[in-house]
Structure 1
């Protein structure tokens, strides 16, 4: 856990110690919230795990759902969440569960817990992952750094070099290189990571095969009670880094492809990465033009009545793997962290 996440954990503890996660609800809590999840799988002991924030354990998912229910909150489908915004039920805070990318562990480890609690959930699928043609580049970077004792690579903005012999060195190198690549063009990011995976002898397609659901499972899943399938672009690009036609095609054709493969209507969309550098007003308009009922970002926040006019720029709250505890969850449910971050504003759609 880096300094930023240590500070976040300390803030959650302070909110609990002062009971701010309870007395603040009257002015910080919205009508509901949409949770973002990725992996759900048993905890693995490893010192170098830079993507650990993207995974929670089945046990914590069970605890989280139990707590949400114990608080008297409703766990609803994404369709019901949209309806609740249009037709509010006063005093009935709701939570919708969404899982991004289409990972195997969502079926193997998350679904049994979700079924135990009888709650609906949405899976946002990238067809390129089901095809084994798109890239889990953040996982490729992790596996390459895990395998290599040193990084030395030429980038468009200058060379990057780092020792990666120990777990601590690997964590530092990943953090530095990841954010440096994220700031630039996606083509540079993908090229640089391809060079590293080639040096490390890693097969990107094999990683996708290992991690992501195949079409046959997705077809079976699409007819299951309580399961909603949504679109997550064709190949998982950071849309705002691309020209308008590429972004339009990635959004619209992901809907068409999923509808053709699964024979169901696809009503909801999630922007890959989903932060302001990956999805903004242009992408919000494109998702609406493509015919989606809603589209979700990763901009953190609760849902408020004002979001009725912004169904294609909805915030979500990450169930972060670095903060798997009741203290953190209670703070997220209260909405206080987002009220402070957004300076009291209920909307972040610019």
Structure 2
């Protein structure tokens, strides 16, 4: 079995190359333009987190959530040329089923990192593109680093070959190579997400000792300031809430949910001097209780991390977006934004269902992509 692994890796790499060539062909042949035109009743909402000019450490950016600035600028130039980029409010107010000459798009950034103001905002302003930044108010007001940035920084900096951590049982995590560290972060991060904040904080404090590193995040992980947010709000950048603490809404009581949403809304409105009506669910996790709390707190819409184009007829508290990361090629970005990727997945799903029906298999047991 061990001898089969290199061959499997080769097959996966070859499939990736073939897919990339197909995507480039779709772009060059105008297939993506046709897909965007067919999807013009919907809107593409792009979801970013951060951009960078130098750094970050490849280990710390293992999931590509920090995007190279040059790639971001190329994407924005493409959007400015091929789409009508509008504020989120305009997309929310679209009549269901309405068609547009050009496909509509909106740009969003989650978390409220300072690099948005330093690097992304100047590009957006130069191109005349509106955007929305979803801000975590504890991050804004107190500058408290996010726990995942602390974890990434510690794992990237350590010289230890491995570490024993008790999350849901004691386990040894490898750290000898960059690949080991990325694998450990991929495995460990979702586990820490489910922990109560107090236990997670204790684990991180102990981890710094075990790894023999400082519990400090690099400057790239810093927060926007209130003055920067206020300046941008006067210049085409709208502001939405990403919660007060960025704790998952699935692990908060109803009272805590309402307090989280009400307080973050109050703080942001006091900073920008206007209404804050958009919410972005922390970690993309939400429930019926979270939606109810959002409505009670006065939010009119909420975005998710559910992949797909936004349909104006859909639930305004479960708005879909297209996630963008540093691992995407430009062709992959164009295909995703056009809705072609969704269309191809739907076709594949239908094909698999039909095969199941022809073989007499119950279609509910056939898994599609998505």
| TM-score interval, normalised by the smaller of the two chains | 0.7 to 0.9
Cα distance, 1:99 vs. partner? 0.9
Matches within 5 A, 1:18-37: 21-22=32-33, 24-25=35-36, 31-37=42-48
Deviations 1:277-328 (A, max 9, x none): x213322222122111211111111011322xx11110111121111x3201
Pair 1:152–1:133, CA change in 2 (3 A): same
Residue in structure 1 matched with residue 340 of structure 2 by the alignment: 336
The answer to whether the 8 Å contact 1:32/1:95 transfers is yes
Residue in structure 1 matched with residue 214 of structure 2 by the alignment: 202
Task: Report the 3-state secondary structure (helix = DSSP H, G, I; strand = E; otherwise coil) of the residue aligned with 1:305.
Answer: coil
Cα distance, 1:29 vs. partner? 6.2
Cα distance, 1:86 vs. partner? 5.3
Cα distance, 1:24 vs. partner? 4.5
Residue in structure 2 matched with residue 110 of structure 1 by the alignment: 120
Matches within 5 A, 1:39-118: 39-44=50-55, 46-51=57-62, 53-71=64-82, 73-85=83-95, 88-118=98-128
1:165 counterpart (171, 176, 182): 176
Pair 1:108–1:165, CA change in 2 (3 A): same
Residue in structure 1 matched with residue 283 of structure 2 by the alignment: 273
2:298 counterpart (274, 277, 291): 291
Are residues 1:327 and 2:327 paired? no
2:322 counterpart (317, 322, 325): 317
Residue in structure 2 matched with residue 348 of structure 1 by the alignment: none
Pair 1:175–1:258, CA change in 2 (3 A): same
Task: Report the 3-state secondary structure (helix = DSSP H, G, I; strand = E; otherwise coil) of the residue aligned with 1:111.
Answer: helix
**In 1, Cα distance between the equivalents of 2:246 and 2:56?**
29
Larger gyration radius, structure 1 or structure 2: 2
Deviations 1:223-242 (A, max 9, x none): x2211111111111111122
What are structure 1's unaligned runs of at least 5 residues?
345-350
What are structure 2's unaligned runs of at least 5 residues?
1-8, 351-370
Task: Report the 3-state secondary structure (helix = DSSP H, G, I; strand = E; otherwise coil) of the residue aligned with 2:138.
Answer: helix
Are residues 1:228 and 2:238 paired? yes
Matches within 5 A, 1:241-252: 241-252=251-262
**In 2, Cα distance between the equivalents of 1:134 and 1:197?**
17
Task: Report the 3-state secondary structure (helix = DSSP H, G, I; strand = E; otherwise coil) of the residue aligned with 2:283.
Answer: coil
1:178 counterpart (189, 193, 198): 189
What TM-score results when the alignment is normalised by the length of structure 1? 0.83
Cα distance, 1:244 vs. partner? 2.1
Instruction: Work out the number of aligned pairs and report it.
Output: 332
Deviations 1:8-44 (A, max 9, x none): 7864543443565455556666511111111112143
Pair 1:217–1:270, CA change in 2 (3 A): same
Pair 1:159–1:315, CA change in 2 (3 A): same
The answer to whether the 8 Å contact 1:29/1:335 transfers is no
Cα distance, 1:92 vs. partner? 2.9
1:260 counterpart (270, 273, 281): 270
Residue in structure 1 matched with residue 22 of structure 2 by the alignment: 14
Task: Report the 3-state secondary structure (helix = DSSP H, G, I; strand = E; otherwise coil) of the residue aligned with 1:296.
Answer: strand
**In 1, Cα distance between the equivalents of 2:165 and 2:180?**
19
Cα distance, 1:190 vs. partner? 4.0
Task: Report the 3-state secondary structure (helix = DSSP H, G, I; strand = E; otherwise coil) of the residue aligned with 2:64.
Answer: helix
Cα distance, 1:84 vs. partner? 2.5
**In 1, Cα distance between the equivalents of 2:306 and 2:139?**
24
**In 1, Cα distance between the equivalents of 2:338 and 2:220?**
38
Pair 1:57–1:246, CA change in 2 (3 A): same
Pair 1:186–1:13, CA change in 2 (3 A): farther
